[in-house]
Amino acid sequence: MSKHLPRLLVPVGAAILVLFFMPWLPPNITGQDLAAGYVSGVEGFGFFYLNLLCAVLIIGAGVFLWRNKYNKLASFVAVVSSAVALMVTFFGMSTLASPVILNIDFVNLAMYGFWGIMAASIVGFIAGFASFARKADNFKFLLLSPAVLVVAVVTAYPLVNTFILSFREWRLDRSPRPEGFVGLENYLRAFDDRFFWNSVYVTITFTVISVVLSVVLGLAMALILQKPSRMNTIVKTTLIFPFAVAPALKGFSWRFMLNPSWGVYDSMIDSVFPFMADVVWLANPFWAQFWLAISEVWGWAPLIALMFLGALGSISPDIFEAAKVEGANNFELFRFVTLPLLKPVIIIVTLLKTIFSLKMFDQVVTMTGGGPGRATQTLNYYVYLNGFRFIDMGYASALAYLLIIALTIFAIFYVRALYGKEGI
């Protein structure tokens, strides 16, 4: 009996934690409800006692593990249950910290409980983990897990959370926490929203312009700088600079240079094409989109040129020699030798640039602010507007998910193109 009791503590503890907290949490719960035992379903069985129970369970798990060092299952359960307990604590604390009127005594009690359970679950976690990692072949998991955990928290958690939010109503000005579930309403709303379609159109236009120009200009620069000479070496070393400039700053500096009264690019263009002297670049929908794309191309084309230069450098010169001996002229050399050899790189670069164009955000804020009108409101910016200007979190989440779907398609192609054949 004494041997089996602690063995039971861990799974029972985990089960209680999951059953009492996680799935039944109604959307509009307040701290008062928690205090009254609303969540556990048992009148008077408040947070504090539940916390105590969890703490006892997890400490029990720790002791048990300490005595049975190499039990894989037990260590696994201990790790999972303490992780769940930590999450519950985190949630509970954030509930208390949220702006709800609460009974002060309750808050104090609950806080002690939370700190207790947090300490206990950390102990349980470390104990479970240490026992797991003691075994020689578990060493790799010990090293890998901090990174995996952190990446899960900072990327997988938002993905899941945004997904759930996209099915809920939540206007921050009305309620401090999510309101009820509304099914697909947020998504349906997007399809009826002409500003959403406008942003889709803007995003596609921007992506096409910037991808085509970046790749074409990048290829052109690579071909120009391909020949070894002192001049070209100097130019090549400067190619990394535009990409290193903060995108937000790119937007500002291009806006400065395009100003109709004192912008330096504006006066250069006016002196070459006098008929364009009257164009106010960023007040014209077409030109605003164009220059927004150019500010992005300015960063990417040199980087893409460097990628192509790397790929060109790895092509054997014998191939070009052979083609020349066969009588190919420069154009034929490019069309039938260089281009086919660069094809894999071109595909990867195009996909990569497409993904980053769909994600582009910073320059919209600092260069055009989405204007003139809505001419440069990309989908990304529209999500931002809805989420953080109109503070409509549910709708913003749904829009964000539509963006993710588009990105996922390109990401799949990209991963296929990179690793499809040979694996990582």
Partner 1 sequence: MQNYVLKKRISRILEIIAALACLFFVLFPIYWLAITAFKPEQYVYTNAIIFPPTLANFYAIFGEALDFSPYLINSIVISSATVLLALPMAVMASYVLSRYAFKGTTAILIWFLCTQFLPPVVVVIPFFTLFRQLGIIDTRISLIIINLSLTLPYAIWMLKGFVDALPTEIEEAAQVDGCTEFQVLRRITLPLMMPGVITTAVFSFIIAWNEFLYALVLTRDNATTMTVGLLATQTHRGVQWEWMAAAGLLVMIPIFILSMTIRNYFVEGMTMGAVK
Residues 80-99 that bind partner 1 (CB under 8 A): 93-95, 97-98
Helix axes 185-192, 194-225, angle to 10 degrees: 70
Q: How far apart are CA 37 and CA 126, in angstroms?
A: 30
Q: Is 414 in the site for partner 1 (CB under 8 A)?
A: yes
Nearer to partner 1, 13 or 186 (CB): 186
Minimum CB distance to partner 1 smaller for 198 or for 253: 253
Structure token digits, residue 421: 């054949």
248 binds partner 1 (CB under 8 A): yes
Long-range contacts of 135-138 (CB under 8 A, 24+ apart): 135/70, 135/72
- Sequence-ordered alpha helix ranges (H) in 71-193: 72-97, 104-134, 139-151, 157-165, 185-192
65-73, 113-121, 197-205, 230-238 -> range binding partner 1 (CB under 8 A): 230-238
Among 180, 242, 260, 371, binds partner 1 (CB under 8 A): 242
Question: Does residue number 423 form part of the binding site for partner 1 (CB under 8 A)?
Answer: yes
For residues 358 and 375, give the distance between their C-alpha atoms in angstroms, rounded to a whole number: 16
Spatial separation of the C-alpha atoms in residues 253 and 353, rounded to whole Å? 22
Q: Which of residues 134-153 bind partner 1 (CB under 8 A)?
A: 136, 139-140, 143-144, 146-148, 150-151
Q: Which of 247, 288, 292, 377 binds partner 1 (CB under 8 A)?
A: 247
For partner 1, what does the binding mask look like between residues 292 and 331, x meaning CB under 8 A? ------x--xxx-xxx--xx--------------------
Site for partner 1 in 359-388 (CB under 8 A): 359, 361-362, 365-366, 380, 383-384, 387-388
- Which residue number, 52 or 87, has a Cβ lying nearer to partner 1? 87
Cβ distance 190 to 399 under 8 Å?
yes
CB of 358 to partner 1, least distance (A): 7
Q: Which residue has the tokens 């953080």?
A: 388
190 lies in the binding site for partner 1 (CB under 8 A): no
Beta carbons within 8 Å of 269's beta carbon, 6+ residues apart: 276
155, 194, 228, 325: which one binds partner 1 (CB under 8 A): 155
Token code pair at residue 283: 């007040």
User: Any long-range contacts for 168-175 (C-beta under 8 Å, 24+ apart)?
Assistant: 168/27, 168/394, 169/394, 170/392, 170/393, 170/394, 171/391, 171/392, 171/393, 171/394, 172/391, 172/392, 172/393, 173/391, 175/28
Query: Please, which of residues 14-73 interact with partner 1 by CB under 8 A?
Result: none
Q: Is 245 in the site for partner 1 (CB under 8 A)?
A: yes
Question: How many CA atoms are closer than 13 Å to the CA of 317, on its beta-carbon side?
Answer: 4
For partner 1, the binding residue among 109, 253, 279, 341 (CB under 8 A) is 253
Mark the segment that binds partner 1 (CB under 8 A) among 20-28, 106-114, 189-197, 400-408: 400-408
Binding to partner 1 in span 255-294, by CB under 8 A? 255-257, 261-262, 264, 267
| Residue nearer to partner 1 on the CB measure, 227 or 421 | 227
175: contact with partner 1 by CB under 8 A: no
Bridge partners for 171 per DSSP = 392
Query: Do 29 and 91 contact (CB within 8 A), yes or no?
Result: no
Closer by beta carbon to partner 1, 262 or else 275? 262
Quote the CA–CA distance of 80 and 3 in Å, as a whole number. Answer: 22
Count of residues touching partner 1 (by CB under 8 A): 101
